[in-house]
């Protein structure tokens, strides 16, 4: 088989997945993909599905070139579970671990478009994680060019950044304010491609590796502090003032 063989995990969203991919975005092949039932913890299914995936594909660990994982942002618990599982699998098999930002993978699932692209994930608290991309232009790592930082904000505040037609993709669109969804410059991507997928994580990881990406101990991309961290900060301020 031609192209890098990647075992990929996606646990940043409620419905996670595992996949085995061959090659990159342009000519890659999906060999197998299993989805995780969203109402059960990823930790209770993930490793079992990885084993089933490899057995169904008749692929052994020696043939795999790397393990890839969805880096986030997304569910804090899901990201921790996915990253821990990916680290363990990569270490045990002696394979590289490649982390792919989840918002980047959503942009990469679209073909080159003349319009800008806005990727969206549910950040809870009436907020979304978002980023803007030019999918017609690739960056030095072979991924759609990101236009600015990763954001976490109310969807209505994103409207100040939209001055030209934009394609929106991602499950975060479902929790956006009506003023955002009905904005005349916005056009939603087909619902069938709105979910982050392990398959695209694998294709993107192959691109990153092909362009020379070398990651040492990648960390989850949270974008904002967790509730526990915010509580510690609040307690520290309270204690400092006593």
Per cent of the chain over pLDDT 90 is: 78
- Per-residue pLDDT for 171 more than 50? yes
What per-residue confidence (pLDDT) applies to 41? Answer: 57
Distance, CA of 191 to CA of 174 (rounded, Å): 10
Query: What pLDDT digit, counting tens, does each position of 3-58 carry?
Result: 999 999 999 987 889 999 999 998 899 999 998 766 555 566 788 899 999 999 99
Spatial CB neighbours of 81, under 8 Å, sequence gap ≥ 6: 11, 41, 42, 43, 46
Q: How confident is the model at residue 225 (pLDDT cuts 50, 70, 90)?
A: confident
Residue 10: the pLDDT is 96
pLDDT of residue 178: 93
* Residues facing 6 on adjacent strands: 21, 66
* pLDDT for position 230: 45
For position 40, what pLDDT does the model report? 57
> Measuring CA to CA, which residue among 158, 130, 125, 144 is closest to residue 208?
144
Q: How high is the pLDDT of residue 44? A: 67
Convert the pLDDT of each residue in 67-117 to its tens digit.
999 999 999 999 999 999 999 999 999 999 999 999 999 999 999 999 999
Radius of gyration for the alpha carbons in the chain, expressed in angstroms and rounded: 18
Residue 218 has pLDDT above 80, yes or no: yes
> Is the predicted pLDDT of residue 63 greater than 70, yes or no?
yes
Mean pLDDT within 189-195 = 92
Question: Residues of 105-119 as b/e, b for ≥16 C-beta within 10 angstroms?
Answer: bbbbbbeebebbbbb
pLDDT beyond 90 at 143: yes
Q: Identify the H or E element spanning 67.
A: strand 66-72
pLDDT of residue 39: 57
Name the average pLDDT for the chain: 89
Mean pLDDT of 164-192: 95
226: confidence class by pLDDT, cuts 50, 70, 90: low
């Amino acid at each position: 088989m031609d192209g890098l063989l990647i075992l990929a995990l996606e646990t940043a969203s409620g419905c996670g997945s595992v996949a085995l991919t061959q090659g990159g975005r342009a000519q890659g092949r999906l060999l197998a993909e299993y989805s995780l039932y969203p109402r059960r913890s990823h930790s209770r299914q993930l490793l079992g599905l990885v084993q089933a995936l490899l057995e169904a594909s008749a692929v052994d660990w020696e043939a795999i070139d790397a393990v890839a994982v969805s880096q986030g942002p997304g569910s804090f618990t899901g990201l921790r579970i996915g990253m821990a599982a990916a680290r363990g699998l990569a270490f045990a098999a002696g394979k590289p671990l490649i982390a792919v930002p989840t918002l980047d993978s959503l942009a990469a699932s679209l073909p080159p478009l003349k319009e800008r692209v806005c990727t969206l994930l549910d950040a809870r608290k009436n907020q979304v994680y978002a980023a803007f991309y030019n999918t017609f232009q690739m960056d030095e790592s072979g991924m759609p060019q990101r236009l600015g930082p990763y954001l976490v904000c109310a969807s209505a505040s994103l409207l100040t950044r939209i001055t030209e037609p934009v394609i929106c993709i991602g499950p975060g669109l479902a929790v956006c304010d009506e003023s955002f969804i009905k904005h005349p410059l916005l056009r939603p991507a087909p619902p069938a491609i709105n979910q982050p997928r392990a398959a695209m994580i694998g294709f993107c990881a192959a691109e990153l590796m092909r362009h020379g990406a070398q990651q040492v101990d990648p960390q989850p991309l949270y974008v904002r502090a967790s509730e526990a961290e915010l509580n510690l900060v609040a307690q520290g301020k309270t204690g400092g003032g006593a």
